[in-house]
Structure 1
């Protein structure tokens, strides 16, 4: 399931990220806690360079808690910190300011020695599509998107978003990279980061069953009331379809319908808390 999907606006976004880095103190990178590796654009790390970066593992309510905490340990280093969060409920967002203060400790101390107090931290928000950037920004802005006026050194009409944390956010469109390997493509498609319209959702659902029967067999059986699992993902998908009544005339399986059900329930966290990638 190789995918080559790189709309023109993403080329523009990549250029804008590079140009705007000089305007911010840090970068907040949003990732999906279920697919921490696949939802990381390798170009972001290259573009950000040594700029302090806070990695927000969003949708952590849908991921396996222990594995998410292992990812946090794996990702955190000198100029990078990782935290878990849920942008819809706001869980974990209170940790953003303290973590940014730690990342920017030396800079903030230098400014304090110069008499600068109550400094507003500027941060650029980056991430691939559908990882929850809009939900994050709306929650941080208390659901009231507000522009910060033009300032010296800031391109005219550039929108800065105020928050009550003493942080101003600069949003960027979601950016994917030109080509994906098979595993990353599947994980992105499973979680909806790649639009279903360009996918074969029936094949995607079959691949999801194959993945879940390997990683979360008990949760898959419990959700769809299966007594056991076959080694064949197609047979398992058929049994799930039968349990959900996805049958057409002459007892044919309605694969389009069961694919939609399976993908929707996975994305909503109804099957279980699932982490498709581990740091080890």
Structure 2
């Protein structure tokens, strides 16, 4: 575990990694990656009991599954910065023959990746399966998963939600990045999600809310979520974030869901994200 000041420093460097990665290949999804940075840094550097040595089955450790796989830049950066592979490999993002594909994949055997993701709606089902496997194996560790709010427009999410509550999958903490944006515009305009707390509670989940761009709140709510495990219900965290957080001209805009900054925009972003660790 590291203290909160160090976590904030790591988060700043991860954001710097993100904009440099997508700029270098002129492809990728910076908006959601920047918005979810604090969450993934808090998870991997403070809450998650994990081994960078990496056993794909993950016995005796917590497991994390990324369902909204398009935010791979933030996950790759966090994995590298926490020791899963050399930070220099971040410079190969989305290039031919790279292990760092645009959406995480297992074929390349990149340490830290247990499922291919990015076909939205599937990650919750996988996380539930892993959680049930932990129970069957007598393994007391926890499964974590992350999802986009636009992803909730997929029907498979709600099938999985019913299944998890019915089967009392109470070793699972899922989080939704509620940034209100998706590739075609605001979620309220594309297909309104309504009252998410009421929906998840009606489906039988224990629901918490979190400010995803405030490190203190992320740490607090993740700890509270862990305390609610083992009580017969899966736990859902509704995490309010700002798409593009940390880069002023990207913040709050769906236009930065899936485009890369040009040279001038990159320099503008880097001036706002001072290097706290060594760049790749």
Question: What TM-score do you get using the length of structure 2 for normalisation?
Answer: 0.31
Q: Relative contact order (C-alpha < 8 Å, sep 6+): which is higher?
A: 2
Question: What TM-score do you get using the length of structure 1 for normalisation?
Answer: 0.31
